[in-house]
Every structure is written in C-alpha cells, then in structure tokens.
Amino acid sequence: MSDDTLETYIRQLLESHQGPKVQVAWQGGEPTLMQLAFFRRAVELVERHRRPGQLIEHSIQTNGTLLDDDWCRFFKQHRFLVGLSVDGPRELHDRYRVDRLGQGTFSRVLQGWLHLRRHGVEFNILCTIHAANQQHGRAIYRFLRDELDARWIQFIPIVERIGGQTIPTDDQDQRLPSEKTRPLYTQSGSMVTRRSVDPAQYGQFLVDVFEEWVRNDVGRVFVQQFDVALEACFGRHLLCVHAPECGYGPALEYNGDLYCCDHYVEPNFLLGNIHQTHMLALVAGERQRAFGQHKLTSLSSKCRQCALLQWCNGGCPKDRFVPSPEGDADQNYLCPGYVRFFSHAQPAMQCMVDLLQRGRPAPGVMAWMAQRDAAGGPYQACSCGSGRKFRFCHGARAPASPFEGSGCHFNGNRDGDSAAVRVRDDKQG
Ligand code: SF4
Ligand code: SF4
C-alpha cells in the first residue's frame, strides 16, 4: 500500500465517523508482513487527521510469528488490541498453521504471545475450527483459558467452498501456487475442502465449550458466540453473521479498492476506489445497502420458518450453498451446527435473560447449573450429549488431556511449552 493510499484511507475513515469512537482495524493476509514502520506511519497519520475529541481504538489481527519486543512496545504505547490466531495446543495448531516450508508455527506463535504478555499488551484469541481440531472443543478452550490466560475468545468455523474453477486448496499441500498460476478465489462451488469443519461437529464443538463455560466462567471469560447469542435474546446483534442484515465491514485492498466484505474480495463485489470516491459514499451507497439487505431477502424457506431464526438469522451468505431437504438451493452449510448449538444453549440462555431482567448478574447461571448437576447426580448422562456419565465428562474438573506427552501440553519441557510455564511462574512470583 502506497503512502498516498494509506493517508487517503485514514483521512476518509476518520471523516466518515460522526461519533467520538473510531476503530482502526488491521487484518490480512498477515498484516505484520508490512513491518513496523508502516504501522508507525499509520498511527502518525491517525494523529494528524483525527478531530479533537475523537477516540481511536487500534486493533490488529495477527498470527503472532513476527512479534518481538519492538512490536509489543509499539502496541503497548498506542494501546492496540491484538487478536492472536491460535488453533489450540501444538498438535492441533500445527496441523494447518504452517509456514511456506510446511513447518508448524506453534513455537513461534507462543514466543509472540510471550512478548505480548511481557509488555502487558491487551490481546484476545481467534481460534479457527476445522477438520483437525473440531473434536476437541473443551481441551482447546481449557488450553486457551488456562495456559494462554485468554479472557476473550472467538471461534471461527473454516468453510472453504470449492468447485472446479476455484483454487485447489488441499490439506495435503499447503504451498500456494505462484501468483501467475493462482486462480482468483471466489465464493462459488458446492463442495468444501477436506480441512473444512464438519457442520454438525461445529455445533458440537460449541456445545463442548459452552458446557465448560456455563459451569465455571460466566463473567470471567468472554466467548464471542455466547455473547452474541445472549444479546440476540434482547434483540441486539453484535456479529454480522447472526444479524438480520450485514454489510458494515467492507475490506480495503492495497490499491484503494473497496469491497463489500473481506469474504467477497472479488470483481462482482467491488464498490469502487477511495481515490475516486469517498469511502463514506461507497459504504452508504445503494450497492452496499443491497449487499447487506440481500442477507435477509435471500433467506431460505427453511430459515424463514426456523424457530431459531432470532439467534441465527441464517448465518453468513458466503456459507449458503447446500440444498436443504425442503428443496432450498442455498441453505447454510453450517445449519446442522447452528441448530445443535442454539437449541442446546436455550435453557441456560433463558436463565441468564431472567437474571438480567431481574437486575441480577448473568454469572448467577452457574449456581443454577450447579443445582441441576447436583439434582441429577454424578452418574447421570452428561448434558453435552457425549453419552458419557457426567462425572467422567463435563463433571470432571480436570480430565486427562488427550494431548498429554504430545509436545503440546504445558508441563512438558519442549521450547514453546517451557516458555508458557515460565510465564505462569512469573505471574505466581
Ligand atoms: S457476508 Fe458474512 S462476513 Fe460478510 S458482512 Fe455479511 S455476514 Fe458478515
Ligand atoms: S438454524 Fe439453520 S434453518 Fe435455522 S436460521 Fe439458522 S441456518 Fe436457517
């Protein structure tokens, strides 16, 4: 991105906001590849163009592999919120998060996390759910909570849609074809890659996490999907995916081209170029409005009649490409998972709604869960649906980790793991 485009973008972004708060969010690809000087310049431009009283919230989403003291000093100084991508313990993370040589990146990510911690940078965790980690919801959640000390977590389902004309993304070969031979990725095709998440298992993953969270961590750990579901009970929609309409997160490319959404950076969704048309006009224009409304108007007949519509709203349009038993052509691929999670979470969500409406804090749901668990006893079937006894499933405070001894658990003494242990020692000391 040229300095001219960077300045045009920042100036227009700040001009576009009427209210005092402005979020300046960087995402890639991998934004740290732009190097620190680029972001120093970006912050300098923000300071130059912001109006008196405008409050700036900087954030960046990164894989963390390049983070060092310089980066983290900078983040701390400018109060960046850093989203760190971690897909679970080493064995799970390294399955797909590899470098160009196919080597796992877990150790480097953990080093980045250590730098963040050392400098007191605020961070959250983005964890993608895919074929390799979809069966380990609770282990991953515990890892993020207990070992990485994450207090804000979001889970993103990986749905890589493919057809004959789209990029041959295959989990056996992580190397990208050269720029010249690489076809444009478009949201088309009716198949998914092998590394995409299984739809029903995605729902079960969330249920596994929810069962752990709702017993122990309400009010202490924030899981985006759970916040979104609770807010939806009050008619508020925090996440475009589960809002009735969308279109509030356009994506800017390096040359100033602005697209409807970062999942639709393809020719049919180009809004224009900010060097020719002000960003505000592009975002408020008819084209973008139609894009956002299409989420609602293109709902399948199954979605329109669905009892869970209030929470789900049909999911993201990019995932609507499978036929439904009702004869819809474009049902959401993740629908079985949404049904599993939203219906499972209903009773506890309703309990939290009741508490909040009576002016009491939502964490009271944990006492309600404890009462339910006590009434059923330790040998009842676990409510997560695993088929195991409660005592040996979500009733077990610290069940054996399936990753024990694999080099991704944290009492081991391999490089990255011992680093995690050192931080825990620091905290205790
Ligand atoms: S297309 Fe999906 S990700 Fe993009 S704005 Fe709409 S709901 Fe959000
Ligand atoms: S759960 Fe399935 S049917 Fe119901 S709104 Fe969501 S995608 Fe549509």
Q: pLDDT tens digit string along 51-64?
A: 999 999 999 999 99
The predicted model gives 328-356 an average pLDDT of 96
pLDDT at 176: 43
* Mean predicted confidence (pLDDT) in 26-35: 92
Q: Cα(107)–Cα(64) distance, rounded to whole angstroms? A: 10
Task: Please give the distance, rounded to the nearest whole angstrom, from the Cα atom of residue 239 to the centre of ligand 2.
Answer: 16
Can you tell me the distance from the alpha carbon of 315 to that of 396, in angstroms, rounded to the nearest whole number?
A: 33
Of 185-199, 346-360, 364-378, the least confident: 185-199
Active site residue 69: no
**Is the pLDDT confidence value at 258 over 70?**
yes
Spatial contact of 9 and 256, defined as CB atoms under 8 Å apart: yes
CB crowding 70-91: b at 16 or more within 10 Å, else e: ebbebbbebebbbbbbbbbbbb
Q: Which atom of ligand 1 is nearest to the CA of 263?
A: 4
Angle, alpha carbons 332-338-341 (nearest 5°)? 170
C-alpha span between 1 and 177 (Å, rounded): 23
Bridging pattern class, strands 81-85 and 55-62: parallel
- pLDDT for the residue numbered 164: 61
Choice among 3, 99, 262, 426 that is catalytic? 262
pLDDT attached to residue 248: 87
What is the SS3 assignment for 235? coil
Cis-peptide into 29, omega within 30 deg: yes
Any idea which ligand is nearest the CA of 292? 1
Candidate from 186, 246, 291 with most ligand 1 atoms within 8 A of CB, to mutate: 246
| Percent share of the chain, pLDDT over 70 | 87
The model's pLDDT over 71-90, given as tens digits with 9 standing for 90+, comes to 999 999 999 999 999 999 99
Ligand 1 — pocket residues by CB below 6 A? 240-241, 246-247, 249, 261, 263, 295, 316-318
CA distance 144 to 173: 28
Question: Separation of 364 CA from ligand 2 center, angstroms?
Answer: 29
pLDDT digit string (tens) for 370-409?
999 999 999 999 999 989 999 999 998 765 666 654 444 4
Give pLDDT tens digits for 357-371: 999 999 999 999 999
Å from CA of 375 to ligand 1 middle: 43
Tokens of 117: 């911690």
